[in-house]
């Protein structure tokens, strides 16, 4: 049952990631990977929040592994960072790494902390 839940969550998370990336490229151009940063930060916040909740294994598989796992993307982050560096945008590559690290980990911490506090 858990594998099916992961598939169902991923069926939502992956298209959302794709659409967010397309929209942010349309709005801001392709000079910086805003879409990847956005989905990784939102996904980290969501996963941090979910981890504070008493969820069933099935719901954890659906929302945590499936949805958040497919919404976020480490491989695209890595690829885009390398591409920025290779095309002479080393400063942007560094900003991308620092933004993902600080905002990603920070948002997971905020999600876990806030959801945990709300649960009492």
pLDDT tens figures, 54-75:
999 999 999 999 999 999 999 9
* 69 labeled part of a ligand binding site: yes
Return d(Cα 64, Cα 40) in angstroms, integer. Answer: 13
Question: Token pair for residue 8?
Answer: 């169902």
Report field, pTM of the whole predicted structure over 0.85:
yes
Distance CA 89, CA 29 (A): 15
**Residue 120 in this model has a pLDDT that exceeds 90:** no
Q: What is the mean pLDDT of the chain?
A: 97
Euclidean distance between CA atoms 35 and 13, whole angstroms: 14
């Amino acid at each position: 049952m858990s594998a099916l839940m992961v598939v169902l969550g991923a069926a939502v998370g992956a298209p959302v990631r794709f659409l967010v990336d397309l929209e942010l490229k349309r709005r801001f151009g392709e000079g910086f990977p805003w879409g990847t940063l956005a989905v990784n930060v939102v996904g980290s916040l969501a996963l941090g929040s979910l981890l504070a909740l008493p969820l069933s294994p099935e719901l954890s598989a659906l929302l945590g592994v499936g949805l958040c796992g497919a919404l976020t993307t480490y491989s695209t982050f890595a690829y885009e960072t390398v591409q920025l560096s290779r095309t002479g945008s080393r400063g942007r590559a560094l900003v991308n790494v620092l933004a993902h690290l600080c905002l990603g980990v920070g948002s997971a911490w905020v999600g876990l902390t806030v959801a945990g506090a709300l649960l009492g």
